[in-house]
Structure 1
């Protein structure tokens, strides 16, 4: 290993020390990487310095110190405002942007970085802040495959780094898609807890059974993804019409127990639209046709 390669594998800079940025820096430090940090409010670096981080006096110093520069800021505008004046310093470095934004912003930032001689990775932390630094923390990245391969050991100190492809816009697409999926599942869980609670069931007791049910649900995702790809929706798991009737039963039961029906009504509306637009006899994955085509009731 050359001296330069050793340097690349042991040094990282983190710009932005909010809740997530601080956890990122801590994970790098715990993994043994020399970690330089910078934040607009300098006091936020104090605790990290006490843990062994190096406090950069400026953004320019933070960028110049490391071949791998990780930014985690409120928005892409802030990233541009901070890095714009020091853009020449990015040449030959890898910029990893863990700031939440849109696919269009990611593509624009990647082009900007390339224009200043930097490789670019857009990314998203998909497991919140609590799991950062643990193997089960999912981080998705997209952009330069070479940059990802070169710095994967450093990024792996954050958790499980998954490279989605060379298109930098993929990370924010996955970020928003997975966020929506998580909220869909959680909304269903919260309603289910309320319904079970109306029968006197303790939330933890219900959750213990619900988590045993989830492997079946995730197996449906895997199977139904194949159905969606093939455009063929067998009714092995019930037709859309059958599920629409079951959802109506859930709405009625919830209403009878004095519960809000926002969640089942939302799903019921989707199922009803699928029936109204000719997908009633399809397997439940056929609902994708209603979503992708934006179909609405006449």
Structure 2
């Protein structure tokens, strides 16, 4: 039990919303829940939550109203239903969505007398309430200062500033890094499997090499911020000499090579522009549309 037990409402009881509500109940918060399919409230009521008959009734019950739904369309529908009940409340939206949608939601809340925090979740429902789930928040600073201790009970929390879209920027960028890395990894597994290599054993070796990447990522960030690109990974003149072999190796085995062709094209363009002495991080300069 915590000493700070702000009453909380949770709108949306999918797997993540249920985990959030259960965490609040377990930490001693008077928790009101609502879900379009009312039967999903039953386990939480058994745990000590109160179920509201309508979304508006649930929103009226607590100063802190947490929304966790499938998508932006569902959020729009629920916001329309609670429009007359959010004045004076802090509205926290934990639904995945774009920075533009977060900013629009903040304007909606402000016009109705509510403070708004946009939140994004990086982690899985079973780990809510532990440090293994990351919550990024942005929006009203006063709302975060007032309710940060409550929100920190959900996991590891970071506040990204008063722009309500900043948490979504962080979330989408973090997820994109994962997808970019993992699709490249799957391409490589296809390559080594085609050569008869045990893919599980290869994956273990790659996992062991990942410890070398954090310093490289940090150096890339500094180079991009400053615009000063040293020869990280070696100069592009040297790196580019590998690319034809990388591409032909894949194509000889029937493995898709579009990603390597993109890298070669960027390297060739950067070298042609007179920057062959710079490193891989300098390809950043070519990535604006």
**Could you state the TM-score of these two structures normalised by the residue count of structure 1?**
0.86
- Residue number among 146, 153, 160 corresponding to 1:164 in the alignment: 160
SS in 2 for 1:46: helix
The structure 2 residue matched to 1:19, chosen from 15, 34, 44, is: 15
Q: Superposition pairs for residues 225-264 of structure 1, below 5 Å?
A: 225-264=221-260
The aligned counterpart of 2:78 is 82
Q: Which residue of 2 aligns with 1:121?
A: 117
| Corresponding residue SS for 2:149 | helix
Larger deviation, residues 121-130 vs 221-230: 121-130
Q: How far apart are residue 69 of structure 1 and its match? A: 0.8
Question: In the alignment, which of 52, 64, 74 is matched to residue 48 of structure 2?
Answer: 52
How far 1:189 moved relative to its partner?
A: 1.5
- Partner of 1:146 in structure 2? 142
For this pair of structures, how many residues does the alignment match? 288
Q: Compute the TM-score of the two structures, normalised by the length of structure 2.
A: 0.89
Distance between the aligned counterparts of 1:110 and 1:210, measured in 2? Answer: 43
Taking the aligned partners of 1:223 and 1:214, their CA distance within structure 2 comes to 15
Asked whether the 8 Å contact 1:121–1:147 carries over to 2, the reply is yes
Corresponding residue number in structure 2 for 1:3: none
Structure 1 stretch 63-72 or stretch 191-200: which is displaced more? 191-200
Asked whether the 8 Å contact 1:187–1:263 carries over to 2, the reply is no
Inter-partner Cα distance in structure 2 for 1:285 and 1:139: 29
The counterpart of 1:213, out of the listed 209, 212, 224, is 209
CA distance 1:248–1:143, change in 2 (3 Å): farther
Q: Identify the residue that residue 283 of structure 1 maps to in structure 2.
A: 279
Gaps of 5+ in 1: 1-5
Q: Deviations for 1:158-177, whole angstroms, at most 9, x for unmatched residues?
A: 22111111100112222222
Aligned to 1:107: 103
Unaligned runs of 5+ in 2: none
Contact 1:279 1:287 in 2 (8 A): no
- Structure 1 residues 157, 265: CA separation in 2 closer, same or farther (over 3 Å shift)? farther
Helix, strand or coil for the counterpart of 1:37? strand
- Pick aligned residue for 1:37 from 33, 40, 45: 33
- Cα shift readout 1:168-195 (whole Å, capped 9, x = no counterpart): 0112222222222111111122122223
Contact 1:143–1:165 under 8 Å retained in 2 = yes
